Structure 1
Amino acid sequence: MTPPFVQIDGVSMRYGGVEGTLALRDASLDVGDGEFVAVVGPSGCGKSTLMRLVTGLWPPTEGTVIVDGAEVDGPLSIAGMAFQNPTLLPWRNIIDNVMLPLEVVQPHRRQLRAQRGTYERRARDLLKLVGLDGFEAKFPWQLSGGMQQRASLCRALVHDPRLLMLDEPFGALDVFTREDLWDVMQAVWLAKKPTVILVTHDLKEAVYLADRVLIMSSRPGRIIAERRVPYPRPRRLEQTYEAEFQAIVHELRDRISEARKGEATDVR
């Protein structure tokens, strides 16, 4: 049997020392290579903390995080990340913003000067894939919020990460732009097939994009349930209005409501 690409085993995370806030307690999950998983749960349940542990930005207080067969002990060069706010650098044009990780992440940093033309073509191909062909020379302030988020996705993908971590990447957008970007994200995944972990509060988004939806408890968070999504890809937005799709969304909402009733409390 092929081992999971991402494996979290008995992970706990406490902020602020022994008397601090326990964000995660005994959290475990597996994500297969090339799988698209969404993580949902009550506000403050530790979803974003989970993201930072997987990418090596923070070490766990207890437990182990393994990615691609190796225990995570620092920031991962094979990971790309996109957040709720695009955080594009305002003094750089779009293509230079997209290429920023290539200036930081090895081995691309060593190769960038000699292979700049190849890397620039990769960045342009990504921008074309997300519908930003022709906007390479524009600056972030010249783009709408949805267009900036498209560029942010390209930046997360430009170094060909095997793991893509998405932390509420569409949460600040209006519903129409958000749904457009679901299809963009679906197209990116179908083209590149990275392993994806999406953190979201939008249950419709989770069901539309993911292979599996993982449900977290209230803080201190842990995975308490999962729901497989039965739809093959490519998926169509029209499916989100069908009774079966809506039933899955309501099922997830009920589970999260149950989790909220058991809310809170930092058990030491």
Structure 2
Amino acid sequence: MRGFVTLEGVRHAYGGAGTQLAVDNLTLAIEKGEFAAVVGPSGCGKSTLMKLATGLQFPQNGVVTVAGEVVEKPVKIAGMAFQAPTLLPWRTTLDNVLLPLEIVEPHRKRIRRDRAAYRERAEALLAQVGLDGAGDKFPWELSGGMQMRASLCRALVHEPQLLMLDEPFGALDAFTREELWCVIRDIHAASGVTIILVTHDLREAVFLADRIFVMSARPGHILVEKQIDFPRPRDLELTYAAPFQDMVHELRGHIVEARK
């Protein structure tokens, strides 16, 4: 199996042998530069897939590869954003964005020497997501949507080849969520970064993704793989079109079946 991110015959449980499997025979391949979404019923192993693909967990059976290398340690070329922005309250927005550069090599060795250049990169990202001028603000001075924008910048500041999004917009109101769909759409178009999005929001998945993988109930495996052929760039008006709604309903039907 070839792909930028691949999982082949993966089995994993969190309590070791004898405990309930989170995923079993989980197999998929995602191409470089692709935007993939993973959907499925609660508890199906979507977040487990994310952890396996980034080296935060290792499978009991099967093989996970990223960029042609077997994942045996945390994946340095990945950035991650979660539902909770988890910004450090004592650091400004800019310093929160810079945090990965203080941890991830080779940036960790360079940041003291090249801090001005790194600050410029972080400020450019903040401007790209609509936070121009907000770098000196602390997290408690930002709205939920602004905090999530900052979290996305933090995930991107070390220029990852793979961006993992684990329900990043789930806690936001509908209008803010749709605004951030467009932010992610534009980031993907501009950078070509490979993105894997885990979401419960089927409209979000159809609007953003090139392909959608539907997972079964636990133990999770891929039930359906759906290509999304709506042309890019996609505008929010697309979400009101009949073909878009038909795709959402089709995916919902798959998940209803998966829960039985």
Give the TM-score, by structure 2 length. 0.99
Shift in Å, 1:145 = 0.2
Instruction: Give the aligned partner of residue 28 of structure 1.
Output: 27
TM-fit CA distance, 1:233: 1.6
1: CA distance between counterparts of 2:86 and 2:257? 35
Matches within 5 A, 1:48-127: 48-127=47-126
Q: Secondary structure at the match of 1:134?
A: coil
Q: Distance in 2 between matches of 1:9 and 1:226?
A: 15
2:188 corresponding residue in structure 1: 189
Deviation at 1:17, TM superposition (A): 2.1
Amino acid at match of 2:168: P
Distance 2:107 2:219 in 1: 38
Structure 1 residue matching 2:196: 3-state secondary structure: strand
Q: Aligned partners of 1:153 and 1:17: how far apart in 2? A: 33
2:146 aligns with 147
The alignment yields a C-alpha RMSD, in angstroms, of: 0.9
Offset of residue 19 of structure 1: 2.1
Distance of 1:56 and 1:138 partners within structure 2: 33
Counterparts of residues 1-268 of structure 1 (less than 5 Å): 3-261=2-260
Q: Which amino acid aligns with 2:150?
A: A
* CA–CA distance in structure 2, aligned partners of residues 131 and 121 of structure 1: 15
Aligned counterparts of 1:242 and 1:101: Cα–Cα separation in 2: 40
Name the aligned partner's letter for residue 13 of structure 1.
H
Deviations 1:138-192 (A, max 9, x none): 0000000000000000000000000000000000001111001000111111111
Instruction: List, as ranges, runs of 4+ consecutive aligned residues in structure 1 with deviation greater than 2 Å.
Output: none
Give aligned-pair identity as a percent. 61
Q: Give the secondary-structure state (helix, strand or coil) at the position aligned to 1:120.
A: helix
Unpaired runs of 5+ in structure 1? 262-268
Q: How big is the shift at 1:16? A: 1.1
Alpha-carbon deviations, 1:208-262, whole Å to 9, x = none? Answer: 000001000000000111111111221110110000000000000000111111x
Q: How many residues align?
A: 260
Partners in 2 of 1:75 and 1:136 — Cα distance? Answer: 29
Give the partner amino acid of 1:207.
V
**Whole-angstrom CA distance in 2 between matches of 1:204 and 1:101:** 31
